């Protein structure tokens, strides 16, 4: 008999588990399709998040072209927690039944104060031509954008190299996390990398990019570039897959109206609908703004963005 039933593996809540075990992940790794969650490979010195874990089967493959490792959920858990296969199978069952599992290391996370020290040590305001070209190539006025969103950049860096660093702030405007966008388009790099959870003042689960500039009308989009395009009043969930912690943060804003505008592809529209429904179930006025298929808000022209702002009453 197998150690674990296939149904339990399929229904295993991978993202909650990765949070629980403290393994940062990305949902926007270009090397993988949307069916995969990317984490830093545990088998080689991975400078990206190239280990792709399939959301349904939980099978993993390293796509860095270095270690070539692959395997299943139990092997992944044994590697992450340094436990046996039997213990890994027990872990999967515990997650299924919702038993309150003690964390692997019972050390409480150190309290990290908000501030500029959250950013990568190499982050600076010394933008090079490549950064400015990247931003203008995406239709932004680089200097205005850098000033408006307090952007930083990296060049040669240990981990976050060749990136635009966008500080993620709390409602008071203090830096609590960050997301760093690759400017090179190199196929082996994750498009966005966030702050290591252990070093963040606020876990990524609670972050909404752009929250410090919101008013009574809140436009919810997917990524930082969407916020840059749509302007003040837009917040990004940092991926299509929003979570309940972010919903709590949205509710705390007490906005009169929430508008959700994700990408124009089917899974994103479904996710946007679910978010609007959730906000409505909490007594808020929420609406979905649908874009044509394959259009994402970050690619709208400034004029199109302005029209949408006017339609929803954003000043």
Binding site for Zn ion (CB under 5 A): 41, 43-44, 62, 64, 67
Q: Could you tell me the smallest distance in angstroms from the CB atom of residue 75 to Zn ion?
A: 13
Q: Could you tell me the smallest distance in angstroms from the CB atom of residue 65 to Zn ion?
A: 8
Q: Could you tell me the smallest distance in angstroms from the CB atom of residue 96 to Zn ion?
A: 28
Q: Could you tell me the smallest distance in angstroms from the CB atom of residue 69 to Zn ion?
A: 5
Q: Judged by CB, which is closer to Zn ion: 43, or 159?
A: 43
Q: Judged by CB, which is closer to Zn ion: 67, or 83?
A: 67
Alpha carbon distances (Å) from 304 to 139, 176, 300: 12, 31, 6
Residue 159: both structure tokens together: 């981990």
Question: How many CA atoms lie less than 13 Å away from 144 in the CB half-sphere?
Answer: 7
**b (16+ CB within 10 A) / e for 202-226:** bebbbbbbbbbbbeebbbbbbbbbb
Q: Could you tell me the smallest distance in angstroms from the CB atom of residue 42 to Zn ion?
A: 8
Q: Judged by CB, which is closer to Zn ion: 50, or 209?
A: 50
Mention every residue, 6+ apart, whose C-beta is less than 8 A from residue 144. none
Q: Judged by CB, which is closer to Zn ion: 41, or 207?
A: 41
Q: Judged by CB, which is closer to Zn ion: 37, or 62?
A: 62
Mention every residue, 6+ apart, whose C-beta is less than 8 A from residue 158. 120, 122
Cα 231 off chain centre by? 19
Q: Could you tell me the smallest distance in angstroms from the CB atom of residue 38 to Zn ion?
A: 11
DSSP-assigned states of every residue in 77-136 = HHHHHT--HHHHHHHHHHHHHT--PPPSS-PPPPP---SGGGS-TT-BS---HHHHHHHH
Q: Judged by CB, which is closer to Zn ion: 31, or 229?
A: 31
């Amino acid at each position: 008999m197998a150690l674990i039933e296939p149904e339990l593996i399929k229904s295993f809540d991978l993202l909650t588990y990765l949070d629980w075990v403290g393994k940062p992940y990305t949902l926007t790794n270009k090397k993988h399709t949307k069916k995969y969650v990317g984490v830093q490979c545990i088998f080689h010195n991975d400078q990206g998040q190239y280990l792709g874990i399939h959301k349904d089967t939980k099978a993993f493959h390293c796509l860095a072209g270095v270690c070539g490792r692959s395997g299943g959920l139990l092997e992944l858990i044994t590697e992450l927690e340094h436990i046996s296969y039997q213990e890994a199978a027990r872990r999967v069952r515990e997650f299924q039944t919702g038993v309150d599992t003690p964390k692997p290391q019972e050390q409480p996370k150190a309290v990290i104060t908000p501030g500029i020290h959250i950013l990568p040590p190499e982050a600076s305001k010394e933008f090079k031509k490549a950064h400015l070209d990247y931003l203008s190539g995406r239709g932004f006025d680089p200097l205005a954008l850098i000033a408006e969103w307090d952007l930083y950049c990296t060049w040669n860096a240990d981990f976050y190299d060749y990136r635009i660093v966008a500080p993620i702030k709390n409602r008071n405007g203090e830096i609590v996390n960050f997301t760093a966008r690759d400017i090179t388009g190199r196929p082996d790099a994750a498009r966005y990398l966030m702050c290591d959870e252990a070093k963040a003042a606020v876990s990524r689960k609670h972050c909404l990019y752009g929250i410090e500039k919101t008013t009574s009308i809140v436009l919810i989009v997917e990524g930082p570039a969407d916020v840059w395009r749509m302007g003040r009043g837009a917040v990004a969930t940092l991926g299509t897959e929003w979570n309940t912690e972010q919903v709590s943060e949205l509710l705390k804003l007490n906005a009169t109206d929430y508008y959700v505008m994700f990408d124009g592809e089917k899974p994103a529209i479904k996710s946007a609908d679910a978010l609007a429904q959730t906000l409505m179930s909490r007594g808020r006025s929420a609406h979905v703004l649908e874009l044509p298929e394959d259009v994402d808000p970050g690619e709208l022209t400034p004029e199109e963005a302005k029209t949408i702002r006017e339609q929803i009453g954003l000043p």
